[in-house]
């Protein structure tokens, strides 16, 4: 089966609508009688002559002259015949101010007003007469006809309209629509307008259904147009940026390598006063900063300043939007360091993590003599991204490494953890007392990094301390303590490890066997001896840790 599409949905809805409309058409009540009054000054005698002259057919059966109006009644057997007949006769009368009115379910009325000023008043009177017929005969005939068509009358428009509106509201709405048509709809379209109103009040559900289909189609068309516009707009922006980026790169590279002078650069850089083009220029210079090294690198900040692009970056750095603020700080850091120093310090404790991280990295980049001085004044945590970036910039730019023991007693655990990692990586052994002091920290990760520092720096002074803290530690920290004993343990720790092998979980047992096995020869002999005990799994552990694949 093919995939479902919106075209198939529209086609299905159209078929359902046609089927529903045909069902209603087959069960509609017919118009047995149509009444054509003429409220002009013509008499019944004149009306007879008028009918004959205007080619009315022989099926005109009765005339009426009441309250200054003349009329003629005819019989029809089809609903469509009534509207067709009425519209044809109205065209042939050539009379002004003629309109169509539905008297009840079975009758319609065509009226001509005496003057334009009285049109609204006459129409309201006719509607009132519809609700309160003056003759008992017409009322009886109407009731009789309703009784004849009672089963079908349940499906009439007025019955269905009650689902949406009350009788009073429906009648009021119909009256307002008719009056509006008399006053605003052109004469050539007025008959169609009144016929449409009558049809709507007879079949409101179908009209509502048609409206929903129309709205649905409009929505589909709108979505298609919007998507098409969006795609075209996006492609246009991409092509625009690509063309100008290539042009700006060629011009600026020619200047950097001394092929042209600055005056020619200003002439060949087109549309540099437009905001979009200035953003393209900034991105080109950032790309140059990342890829061009050596003597040519000094031209990049000069170009950035001479073109006035630093003003745009300053506006971004002072923006209320966090993303724009971080973008501005980054541009100033790499392309206008002098201006960046003035604003970076006030953002190192900014509430937004992205802005704060960008400002902290900028501080490290711009203050090469003491890049980590800001850690002493931090009131906000330092993010993981900042820690990774700081480590990367230390290695990339060969920044001086301070003694991180100064920051181990910060109020923020993130600063303590970062300092422990830096002490471990740069092997700052002069900070051993501070590292051992961190073993008593309340923060689990801080203790974990302390155990790791004891292991990596081979701090034999901490062997006894970490062994005493084993029982109260978490699983992760226990595992790190056992790993540390493999490198700094002695024969005094064999009994401690044997207890772990006999009582702890499988992973801790395996790590304890590994520590004893690689500690010294005596440890391997004790493991072999323990493997001979009944119900011992030590042989499997030894096979695992001695396998080169593990």
One-character DSSP codes across 493-534: GHHHHHHHHHHS-HHHHHHHHHHHHHH-HHHHHHHHHHHTST
pLDDT at 96: 55
Task: From residue 79, give the alpha-carbon distance in Å to each of 86, 197, 199, 349.
Answer: 11, 15, 11, 81
**Per-position pLDDT tens, the chain of length 550:** 444 454 555 556 666 655 555 544 444 433 333 344 443 333 444 444 444 444 444 344 333 444 344 444 444 444 445 555 565 555 555 555 555 555 555 555 555 544 445 555 555 665 555 555 444 445 445 444 443 343 333 334 454 455 455 667 777 778 888 888 888 888 888 888 888 888 877 777 787 788 889 999 999 999 999 999 999 999 999 999 999 999 999 999 999 988 899 999 998 998 889 999 999 999 999 999 888 888 888 899 999 999 999 999 999 999 999 999 999 999 999 999 888 888 898 899 999 999 999 999 999 999 888 899 899 888 888 989 899 999 998 888 888 888 998 899 888 899 999 999 999 999 999 999 999 999 999 999 999 999 999 999 999 999 999 999 999 999 999 999 999 999 999 999 999 999 999 888 999 999 999 999 999 899 999 998 888 888 778 888 888 888 888 6
Query: What pLDDT does 210 receive?
Result: 84
For residue 274, which phi and psi values (nearest 5 degrees)?
Answer: -80, 140
Strands (E), 305-412: none
d(CA 117, CA 120): 7
Rg (CA), the chain: 47
Q: Are 513 and 498 in contact (CB under 8 A)?
A: no
Strand partners, 100: 110
State the pLDDT at residue 459: 94
**CA distance linking residue 541 with residue 512, whole number of Å:** 10
Which of 41, 42, 79, 34 shows the shortest CA–CA distance to 60? Answer: 34
Q: 108 in helix, strand or coil?
A: strand
Cα distances (Å, whole numbers) of residue 389 to 397, 400, 408: 12, 15, 20
Backbone angles phi, psi at 155, to 5 degrees: -100, 10
Q: Compute the distance between CA of residue 148 and CA of residue 164 in angstroms, rounded to an integer.
A: 27
What is the predicted pLDDT for the residue at 414?
92
**pLDDT at site 173:** 78
The confidence score (pLDDT) of residue 546 equals 87
Contacts 24+ apart (CB under 8 A), 523-529: 523/494, 526/494, 526/498
List the domain boundaries for the chain: 31-202
- So what's the pLDDT on residue 86? 60
Question: CA 262, 265, 266: angle at the middle one, nearest 5?
Answer: 95
What is the CB neighbour count within 10 angstroms for residue 465? 16
Query: What pLDDT is stored for residue 178 in this prediction?
Result: 85
Q: Let me know: does 82 contact 31? Beta carbons within 8 Å.
A: yes
């Amino acid at each position: 089966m093919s995939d479902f599409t919106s075209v198939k949905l529209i086609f299905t809805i159209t078929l359902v609508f046609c089927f529903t409309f045909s069902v209603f058409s087959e069960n509609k009540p017919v118009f047995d009688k149509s009444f054509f009054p003429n409220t002009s000054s013509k008499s019944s005698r004149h009306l007879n002559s008028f009918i004959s002259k205007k080619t009315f057919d022989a099926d005109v059966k009765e005339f009426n002259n009441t309250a200054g109006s003349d009329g003629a009644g005819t019989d029809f057997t089809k609903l469509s015949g009534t509207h067709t007949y009425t519209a044809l006769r109205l065209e042939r009368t050539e009379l002004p101010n003629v309109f169509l009115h539905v008297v009840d379910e079975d009758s319609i009325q065509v009226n001509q007003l005496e003057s334009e000023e009285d049109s609204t008043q006459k129409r309201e009177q006719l509607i009132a007469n519809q609700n309160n017929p003056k003759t008992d005969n017409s009322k009886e005939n109407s009731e009789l006809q309703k009784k004849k068509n009672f089963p079908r009358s349940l499906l009439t428009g007025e019955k269905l309209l009650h689902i949406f509106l009350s009788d009073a509201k429906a009648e009021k709405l119909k009256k307002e629509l008719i009056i509006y048509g008399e006053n605003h709809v052109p004469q050539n379209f007025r008959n169609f307008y009144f016929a449409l109103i009558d049809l709507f009040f007879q079949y409101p559900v179908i009209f509502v259904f048609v409206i929903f289909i129309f709205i649905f189609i409009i929505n589909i068309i709108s979505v298609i147009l919007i998507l098409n516009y969006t795609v075209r707009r996006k492609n246009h922006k991409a092509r625009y940026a690509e063309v100008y980026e290539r042009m700006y790169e060629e011009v600026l590279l020619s200047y950097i390598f001394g092929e042209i002078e600055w005056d020619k650069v200003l002439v060949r850089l087109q549309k540099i006063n437009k905001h979009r083009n200035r953003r393209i220029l900034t991105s080109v210079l950032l790309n140059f900063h990342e890829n061009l090294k050596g003597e040519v690198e000094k031209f990049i900040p000069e170009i950035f300043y001479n073109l006035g692009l630093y003003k745009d970056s300053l506006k971004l750095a002072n923006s209320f939007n966090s993303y724009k603020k971080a973008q501005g700080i980054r541009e100033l850091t790499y392309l206008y360091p002098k201006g960046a120093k003035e604003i970076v310090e006030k953002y190192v404790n900014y509430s937004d993590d992205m802005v704060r991280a960008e400002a902290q990295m900028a501080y490290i980049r711009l203050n090469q003599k003491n890049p980590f001085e800001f850690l002493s004044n931090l009131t906000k945590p330092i993010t993981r991204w900042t820690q990774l970036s700081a480590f990367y910039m230390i290695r990339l730019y060969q920044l001086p490494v301070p003694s991180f023991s100064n920051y181990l007693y910060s109020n923020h655990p993130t600063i303590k953890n970062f300092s422990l990692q830096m002490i471990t990586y740069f092997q700052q052994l002069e900070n051993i007392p501070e590292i051992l002091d961190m073993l008593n920290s309340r923060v689990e990760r801080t203790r974990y990094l302390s155990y790791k520092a004891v292991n990596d720096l081979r701090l034999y002074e901490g062997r006894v301390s970490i062994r005493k803290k084993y029982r109260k530690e978490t699983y992760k920290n226990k595992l790190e303590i056992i790993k540390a004993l493999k490198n700094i343990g002695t024969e005094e720790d064999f009994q401690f490890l044997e207890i772990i092998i006999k009582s702890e979980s499988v992973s801790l047992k395996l790590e304890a066997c590994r520590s004893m096995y690689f500690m010294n020869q005596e440890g391997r002999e004790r493991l072999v001896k323990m493997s001979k005990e009944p119900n011992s799994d030590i042989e499997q552990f030894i096979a695992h840790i001695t396998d080169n694949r593990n």
